[in-house]
Every structure is written in C-alpha cells, then in structure tokens.
Chains A and B, each alone.
Chain A
C-alpha cells in the first residue's frame, strides 16, 4: 500500500499542487507582511484568510487530478480489473491529502523566518487554527476529486474553482446577521485582524473542524462509490456534520465577533526599574520599547507624584475594551511594522505624554487638544507643532499660546498646573483653563 502511495505521490498532480499552492500562498503573504508580522496567531489567522484563494485552487487541483483516467483513456481498462474501486481510490485520496497539507504547512514555514525573531507569544490555538486550515484544503481537494470524477470535462476544474470562490464571497452576504453561520461554512470568514490580541474560540474551531471533516468524508465516499444509491448515501455524513457543527458553534448572545485572547493582552514586564510592561503578544518588542518608555517616564518625573510604571495601551475598538485608568501608570501605544519591529518609534514618546500621560480611554469625551498638547510639549521642552494633517489650525495656535504661558511661569508652578491637567484627565473631568489659572 505504501509503495502504491509513493508511486501515486510521484505520478499524480501532488507535486504540482504543492508548488502552485505554495507559490500562491507565499506571494499573498509577502505581498502584505504588515498584516501578519505582529505574531504567530496573526500569521495563522491571515493564512486562513488567504484560503479565499487557496481553497478554490485546491478544488481545481482535485478536479484536475480526477480527470487523469479519462485523459489517459484507461477508464474501461480499470473498470475491468477485479478489484474494488475503494482500493484504487485510497492512494489518490492519500496523495492529494498529503500534498495540500504539505503545501499549507510549507506556506507557514515560508513565512515563519520573517517573524521568528520578534514574535514571542505562541499559544496552542495557533496549531488548532492552522490544523483547521489544512483540513479545509483536504476537504476541498477531495471534493474536487469527487466532482471531477462525476463530470470528467476539461471545464470542471476551472468551473469548480469559480464556484468555490463565488461561494466564499457570497457566504458572508448571504447569512445576513447570522455571522456564526458564515463561521461554520466558510473556513476564511472572521479571520481578518482588527487587533494583535485576536484569537479564535475553541468551540468555533471545533465546529469548523467537524463540518470540514464531514465534508471530506462525504467527498471520499462520493469518489469511491460506483452507483447512484451509494452516491446519495455519501451525502449523509455532510448533512450530519453540518447539523452537528451548527449545534456546537456559539451563537446569538454567546457569539462575539473578533474575540480577544486575554492571555495575549496580559502585561509582561522588562527587568530593571522603572517598570515597563507590554502585552504578552508584543513581548518580543520589550527590548525596543523599554528605552522609549523610560525616556517618557524621565520626562514625566518633572511633575509632583509622577507615574512610575509603563503599560502597553491594549485598547481595542472591536470589541470595545480599554485598560483600567491608574494614576501611577502611563500607557504606551505599540504598533508593529511590516518587519515585526516597533513601528513609528519617533511618535511613541510624544503620544505617551499627551494630557501629561493620563489615560483617557473610555472617558467618552476626549480632553481638549490644545491643553493636552501644551502639557505634552511643556514636558518634552519644545514648542508645540501640528500633529495631524487635517486638524483645525487654531488648535495648535492655542496650544502654542498656552505653552508660552507655561514657559513664563516659575518651574514649580508650571509643573503643578500640568499635574492638575493630568489629575483632571484621569478623572475624566474638563481640563479647559487648568493651565491658565493658579494650581492652588
């Protein structure tokens, strides 16, 4: 059996399939490395998202392979051999399955060196997400084999690929607001990255795995069956799998789009003091982030009762969460560039000092730009400059005026006023006027 499998691996479309899928997957990944450079989970999820192309291609590969007998005119000859059809089909199924799994893993392996230095957090979920992706490709290749054998025409393979991509593009629209339904039947749905802390729930992966495994079994049964009665029976596993998957998947109240992994958000601290912590998913960036964070703390030390700790700003917008507001903690924004390193380094310290380093996330109202900026630039020690291209011009003019006022004051009084801005911003209070009236 293993000898036949080896021959099949060499003589079937397996090698070509690996090359095509590897090329397509690697080109897609490296076309936009900033989408997955932030960590292993991002890579696993983005690779799942790119199934939008690989899944239809795997369908086409299967259908192409299934036409081999027809192409070589040996259908009659093989039908005359006194062996069950199953025995003849198993090596083909095995070869195609091995090929697409190898291709999926090879794409991941091609991307791994890019982030191996900077990605620190490697949860077991990565394996689950990748395994479901590989299973999706196996199901597609086997379904292609089954359909290709039923309709041995040259158009079958491209038509199947077109149908596959059409299905993946239509599913999110067709389910309307039942997003959980799209999550069951589309292996790529919901894999876009809104935050670096994103994850896929185990129950979602389980439901997807059940549906895809059932689809693969149904396709294999369809391929091996010789009569219409057994072909009809082959649909049974698919129906059962779909039903089971729909029962398992979280929905309605339990369903959450783009869930966040709390372990990935946990703060991991650098050695030495003052304390500088970043989220676990960015822990590989700690050596790059720590000097900047300490620079910001040093600038804040001008204030009375200055903050002593830096945490990463783990605010997410989908879903809406933000870290607690603490008086002794300054938040540090961390974004990852396409090489996996800290992005926009020059902007990090100024951003940390906005509103004198107060965390105003979740306050509802953001503090006045001019006051917040005047405090920021007083701490940095230079004149405020325009930060956003489309901001109203008077914002910065006002900030410069407030900053000049602070410069004219004795150092101690200015520090007290900036500290008052910080206190008020932390308490979600109005900061207007705090820089112009006496702190006492």
Chain B
C-alpha cells in the first residue's frame, strides 16, 4: 500500500484524476446547458474521450525514469496495470454520465475510442516521450472528426475514431492500436529523456 501511494504521487495521478474529472464535468455541463437532446453528439463524445486520454497522458512517465528502471520490481506488469487503470478511469467517468441528463455514449464508442487512443498515446510515450505523446492522437482524431467517411476500408481505418460503434474495421484498428500500445509500453516503458527535461 505504501508503495502504491508513493507511485501514484510520483506519477502525479491525483492531478491527472482531478483534470479528467474536471474535463468531464465541463463537457457535461456544456452539453446540459446548450442542448435539449439527452444524448451528447458524437463529435462531443469523441472530443471528450480525447481530452480525458490527454489528461491521463501525463501519468505515463515519472520524474526520473532511469532511476525507476533500476528498482528490482517487475515493471512490465505494473506498466500494463497502469495503462488498464487509465483506460478504466476514462471509461468509468464517461459511463457515469449515462445515468444523468446528458449521456456521453454509446458505451461501445467510448470504449473503442478510449482504448485505441490510449494505445496510440502509449506508443507515443514509448517512442517520442510521454510529454509529446498526445501529438498524434490529437491531430489524427481532429482530422478524422472533421473528414470522416465510411464505405471504403482504407478510409474507415484512417478515420476509425469517428466511425459508428458497430463498424468492424474501426473496432479492429482500435484493438490493434490498443494491443500494440499496451505491449510496447509494458515491455519498453516510457522513452528516455534528456536530464533537462526530466521534470515533466
């Protein structure tokens, strides 16, 4: 328990949790205030997922990863658990809105996008570092949100975030990204950074 507390604190999880909850509340209030529909629009849901994933991104690296690696602990299992917990936070926060007056759903879309984007972020954390890992998820999601097309397999893969929840191609793409991110992050961990950038 002591280890967990210290770990969560070193990864700035309390701030990230506050930020995610804050983002959810803001998006939820915006939809409640400005729309009469009970179900939030799909772009709104996708943007909220993207925000929450960006909010938990900050926890993917600690203040000194090189030091962390020297500890005689089985990091792969812990890193995988960290990612899965992050996914749970994002999904639970949004699923909690399903019982309120402004529903951010459907659950399938939330789960697919959260898993895929988190996997993409984890891949970014492994390759270009946690502080830059939101670049690709952000750019890709915004682009696919504005120019989503369905019908062709290639365009469905390219705009998987904005496809209907029942779309198989998008689901497979998200699953591949999620699995790839999970495996890469669990085995390799966050990218090594220059000492000057050590404090995120």
Assess the A60–B58 pair: CB atoms within 8 A.
Answer: no
Assess the B54–A165 pair: CB atoms within 8 A.
Answer: no
Interface centre among B50, B57, B138, by most chain A C-beta atoms within 10 angstroms, is B138
Assess the B197–A71 pair: CB atoms within 8 A.
Answer: yes
The CA of A57 and the CA of B136, in the complex, are separated in Å by: 11
The CA of A60 and the CA of B55, in the complex, are separated in Å by: 14
Closest CB of chain A to B137's CB: distance in Å?
8
A199-236 CB mask vs B (1 if < 8 Å, else 0) is 00000000000000000000000000000000000000
Assess the B47–A157 pair: CB atoms within 8 A.
Answer: no
Residues of B within 8 A of A169 (CB): 43
- B3-11, B83-91, B143-151, B169-177 - the one binding chain A: B143-151
Assess the A161–B58 pair: CB atoms within 8 A.
Answer: no
Assess the B50–A166 pair: CB atoms within 8 A.
Answer: no
Q: Known contacts A71-B200, A154-B131, A169-B43: does B138 contact A161 (CB below 8 Å)?
A: yes
Looking at the complex, which one of A57, A157, A158 makes contact with B50 (CB distance below 8 Å)?
Answer: A158
Assess the B147–A31 pair: CB atoms within 8 A.
Answer: yes
Assess the A71–B146 pair: CB atoms within 8 A.
Answer: no
Residues of A within 8 A of B50 (CB): 158, 162
The CA of A162 and the CA of B138, in the complex, are separated in Å by: 8
Residues of A within 8 A of B152 (CB): none
Residues of A within 8 A of B199 (CB): 71, 73
Is A155 an interface residue, CB under 8 A from the partner? yes
Closest CB of chain B to A422's CB: distance in Å?
43
Is A244 an interface residue, CB under 8 A from the partner? no
Assess the A153–B143 pair: CB atoms within 8 A.
Answer: no
Residues of A within 8 A of B196 (CB): 72-73
Assess the A24–B139 pair: CB atoms within 8 A.
Answer: yes
The CA of A157 and the CA of B135, in the complex, are separated in Å by: 9
Assess the A165–B147 pair: CB atoms within 8 A.
Answer: no
Residues of B within 8 A of A159 (CB): 23, 51, 54
In this complex, what residue of B is CB-closest to A21?
B139
List B9-45 residues whose CB lies under 8 Å from chain A: 19, 23, 43-44
Assess the A158–B134 pair: CB atoms within 8 A.
Answer: yes
Is A292 an interface residue, CB under 8 A from the partner? no
Residues of A within 8 A of B200 (CB): 71, 154
Looking at the complex, which one of A153, A155, A165 makes contact with B142 (CB distance below 8 Å)?
Answer: A165
Number of A-B contacts (CB under 8 A): 64
Residues of A within 8 A of B147 (CB): 28, 31
The CA of A158 and the CA of B43, in the complex, are separated in Å by: 16
The CA of A364 and the CA of B139, in the complex, are separated in Å by: 48
Residues of B within 8 A of A56 (CB): 142
Residues of B within 8 A of A154 (CB): 54, 57-58, 131, 134, 200
The CA of A31 and the CA of B159, in the complex, are separated in Å by: 13
Q: Chain A: how many interface residues by the 8 Å CB criterion?
A: 24
Assess the A71–B142 pair: CB atoms within 8 A.
Answer: no
Closest CB of chain B to A381's CB: distance in Å?
40
Closest CB of chain A to B165's CB: distance in Å?
21
Closest CB of chain B to A169's CB: distance in Å?
7
Is A20 an interface residue, CB under 8 A from the partner? yes
Residues of B within 8 A of A166 (CB): 44, 47
In this complex, what residue of B is CB-closest to A23?
B139
List A33-77 residues whose CB lies under 8 Å from chain B: 52-53, 56-57, 60, 71-73
In this complex, what residue of A is CB-closest to B57?
A154
Looking at the complex, which one of A31, A72, A162 makes contact with B51 (CB distance below 8 Å)?
Answer: A162
Looking at the complex, which one of A153, A155, A162, A165 makes contact with B146 (CB distance below 8 Å)?
Answer: A165
Assess the A53–B143 pair: CB atoms within 8 A.
Answer: yes
Looking at the complex, which one of B44, B51, B146 makes contact with A158 (CB distance below 8 Å)?
Answer: B51
Assess the B138–A158 pair: CB atoms within 8 A.
Answer: yes
List B113-165 residues whose CB lies under 8 Å from chain A: 131, 134-135, 138-139, 142-143, 145-147
Closest CB of chain B to A211's CB: distance in Å?
23
The CA of A370 and the CA of B135, in the complex, are separated in Å by: 59
Closest CB of chain B to A267's CB: distance in Å?
36
B40-72 CB mask vs A (1 if < 8 Å, else 0) is 000110010011001101100000000000000
Assess the B19–A153 pair: CB atoms within 8 A.
Answer: yes
Residues of A within 8 A of B19 (CB): 153, 155
Closest CB of chain B to A233's CB: distance in Å?
27
Residues of A within 8 A of B54 (CB): 154-155, 158-159
Assess the B58–A72 pair: CB atoms within 8 A.
Answer: no
Residues of A within 8 A of B146 (CB): 52-53, 165
Residues of B within 8 A of A60 (CB): 138
The CA of A155 and the CA of B56, in the complex, are separated in Å by: 9
The CA of A72 and the CA of B193, in the complex, are separated in Å by: 12
Closest CB of chain B to A20's CB: distance in Å?
7
Assess the B142–A53 pair: CB atoms within 8 A.
Answer: yes
Interface centre among A31, A153, A155, by most chain B C-beta atoms within 10 angstroms, is A155
The CA of A162 and the CA of B23, in the complex, are separated in Å by: 11
The CA of A155 and the CA of B143, in the complex, are separated in Å by: 19
Q: Known contacts A154-B131, A155-B58, A158-B134: does B51 contact A57 (CB below 8 Å)?
A: no
Residues of A within 8 A of B142 (CB): 53, 56-57, 161-162, 165
**20 A-B contacts (beta carbon < 8 Å):** A24-B139, A28-B143, A52-B146, A56-B142, A71-B131, A72-B196, A73-B196, A154-B58, A154-B134, A154-B200, A155-B19, A155-B54, A155-B55, A159-B23, A161-B138, A162-B51, A162-B138, A165-B47, A165-B142, A165-B145
Give the 6 A-B residue pairs with the shortest CB-CB distance, closest first: A158-B54, A154-B58, A158-B134, A158-B138, A162-B47, A155-B55
Given contacts A72-B197, A154-B58, 8 further A-B contacts (CB under 8 A): A27-B143, A56-B142, A71-B199, A154-B200, A155-B55, A155-B58, A162-B47, A162-B142
